[in-house]
Structures are given as C-alpha cells and as structure tokens.
Amino acid sequence: MKNNRTIHATTVNTVMLALVTTVLAACGGGGDSPSTTTPTASNPSTPTTPVTPATAFTQSGTWTFTLPANGASLCYDFNAQAQTADCTGTAWDLKVKGGNRTASFWTNSGSSGTGNGGAFGGPFDHTWSELLAWKNATTDPVNGAIPATLYFKDAASSVFTGTNSIQSAVFEYGVGGETDHLLYPTWRTFLITTNSAVLDATGAGAQVFALQVTGYYGGAGGTTSGFPSIRWVDRANPGVVRTATVNATTDWVYFDLDAGAVSTATGTWHIAFNRNNLKLNGGESGSGTVAGFVGRTPAGFYDASNKPIASKFTDASNASATLADLGDATLAVPATVSAWLKDATASSLNPTWTGTFPNPLNYGWFTYYPTAAAATAAGLPAVAHVIAANPQNAALVRGGEGTTYARFHVTQIQYANPSDVNSAQTWTVQYDVQP
C-alpha cells in the first residue's frame, strides 16, 4: 500500500536568475523610409536570457548488476559510481538483496548498515519525472525543507514498531510541543511468547510474559537517555511483578525475562534494547522462537485522530493506573498463530505490493505477472511468473556518509533467456547524485 508522508513547509529554495544586458547601437532612417524609433540611453532595449536554476544533482550514472542469489547482497557507492567490495562501513549507499527471483533495496542505516543513510519515501511515493524537477534532496519544491528525520532509517519491524515520528509503539516523542524533546512511554501491554508456533497466550502451552515499558531515562540523577525500564509478569504466575532498568546507551543489551537478568547475544535471551529500539529473539533478530502481540493500549492516551494527548502522557499516575493491565486475564490475545509478530527488517524502499492475484501485482520497482496470459497482455513473452521494471517509480536516498543524496529508479530487468524465468536477471538502475 502507498505510504504517503506530509512534509510541513519551513523554507523555500531561492532561485537566482542571470540578467544579460546588451547595449544596442543607434541606427537612423533615410530618404522616404518610414519613421523608426532609435533606442537611446534613457530608453534602452535590454532583452533577458532565462537561466535554468542550478541543481545540486550534479552527477549521473547507471548501475547494472546480475541479480544476486537468494539471501546474497550487493552494495553500491553513488559518489564513487561503483559497486563496493563488500557491504561494510559507511561508503556504500544502496544495497540490493536477492530474493526468490526478485530483489529488494536497502539503505546504509539502522538494521541494514552502520551508516547514516535513509530513504525519503519509496517507489510508490514519487515518479521519476517528479523527482527530476527537484533541485535539492533536502528541499521539497512544493512543501519546503525536509527534516533530516524524514529520511527514514531501515529498522526492525516488530510488535514494537509504530507509525509515529520515531516509528515506535513503545514511546511517543515530544508530546508537549516544539520545545519538548523527551520520550514518553505509551504504557501498552505487550504479550511476549517464547514459542511462536503455539497459539496459547495464557502461559499454559508456552511461557508467555506480559510486559510494559515504563521509562527511558536513568543513570546519575535519572535524566540520562538510553536507560529503558520495564516491568513484566509470567502469565502463569501473574501476581509476581518484576522490574528492571538496563543501560542501553551504547550497544544492544540482551535480557532474559525468565531469569530477570542481562544475558548475551549467544546466551538465553528474550528481549534486547539499544537506546529506544527493542527487538525479540526470533524472526530476523535472533535464532529463537520469541514473538509478540499488543495485548492492550490503555484508554485516554490518544484522541480520535490518533494524536497523543499531552496531559495524559505527562500524568504522574500512569504507572499505578496501568499496573493492573499486566495481570489482566482479559488482555487481547492472538486469534491465530500467524498473529504472533516475529521480528523482520523493513525499509521504505520495499513497500507492500498492490494488486489482486492472479492479476499483475505491483511491487513498486517492478510488476509481477503470475500467469502467461497476464504477461502476454503486457506485451511480454507468454511466460508465467515473469517480472518487468516500473521505470516511472523512483525514490530519494541519503548516502551512508549522511551528507550525500541520490534519486534513482529501475529502468530495465532483462532475462538471460526471456522464455525462462529461472535464468539470470540483469537489472539496470539509473541515478542522479547530489554529492
């Protein structure tokens, strides 16, 4: 589905126009010729030459690659206009990961890399023609300056992921307005199962915890960020409430909810913290079978438009008012095993596909044709499961260094054997770089 973002205008680009002044010599009439007007110093003729506004996108190029094997990756550096030797460090800007006869794109940020990259929207948000009109990747020509935070980093997608400005279901940021830069817990109650293959959420068929995040600040004076606090119960013994605060200011901290103690990445752990980010030991975040479910969002924290209510988030009684939710037997529980949310990774560059099977399905960068008939109708070889590029769809990314930008689109996907969807695919990416 399309993921639209509204950017509030703050500034506009200033366009400088060059004015060329030409001095014309006077010319006189003669004989019986019609009378003419001769330009004078007080009435000069000064034609202007319009100049196209300067663009910050000063480099262009193409990246052509063979689709990597399923699970393998290739990375590209837009500044160097070259594929990198590996996908480490901050130099690379765009990663392509091979799938099952398809590909996905990722930025050098968050869960995908150690860089300061990010994506401003995905392929459903802007067309290539629209982005070609942009003169600078930090200024929307219609809405003004783009805050750096709207170049979204790749992130873990989990039960703890939300749709607010910090993409969190655990915290809200700055509910008090522009001068408020604090994080506030949402006081949601999360169910954490140790076995996502078991539906039961009461703790009878698998160990299940009910957990709340209660704070974000600690250290000396209790005002240092990156110290998430939690409280939880084992649903098999809901009367015993346990609490913990971890120092997650510099790296991931792994925590064993059963033991109530910090663990290691290779030891027994259920939940992990890195500043305001959380993940579970399952899916793409770990080798375990841990998954989550939102059991309850307490009433009164959001208005009808899902906007945080500042007075409620700052209410000092929230901790006591929501404590009973931990042991409440009426918490919402998954209806099916698939409703347990396992950790995955997500990027704005990989939107949810649109369409209705067996009709063509639009994946943003390409369209998938499930049947030979659908492919034929699109002017492609009569082969089922073929894909074709959507060159009209495009995106903006920030590079791994955090200071460069590029707009790009996929212009072509070719098969080594057009009659064989299993043959090697060659993809072509066209881009413009703002160094």
Q: Is pLDDT at 37 greater than 90 in this prediction?
A: no
CA distance 111 to 350: 14
Residue 427 and residue 413 in contact, taking contact as beta carbons nearer than 8 Å: yes
The confidence band for 50, taking pLDDT boundaries of 50, 70 and 90, is: very low
Provide the CB-side half-sphere exposure for 113 (13 A, CA). 32
Q: Is pLDDT at 25 greater than 70 in this prediction?
A: no
Strands 155-157 and 344-346: antiparallel
Q: Is pLDDT at 376 greater than 60 in this prediction?
A: yes
pLDDT digits (tens, 9 = 90+) for 160-180: 998 887 889 999 999 998 889
Tell me the mean pLDDT in the region 63-77: 95
Q: Is pLDDT at 127 greater than 90 in this prediction?
A: yes
Question: Count of residues for the chain?
Answer: 435
Residue 331 and residue 325 in contact, taking contact as beta carbons nearer than 8 Å: yes
Residue 418 pLDDT? 95
pLDDT digits (tens, 9 = 90+) for 280-335: 999 988 899 999 999 999 999 999 999 999 999 999 999 999 999 999 999 999 99
Residue 79 and residue 101 in contact, taking contact as beta carbons nearer than 8 Å: no
173: exposed, middle or buried (C-beta count within 10 Å: 0-12, 13-18, 19+)? middle
Residue 53 pLDDT? 54
Bridge partners (DSSP) listed for residue 333:
none
Residue 39 pLDDT? 36
Residue 365: left if φ>0, alpha if ψ -120 to 50, beta else—which one?
A: alpha
pLDDT digits (tens, 9 = 90+) for 104-126: 999 999 878 889 999 999 999 99
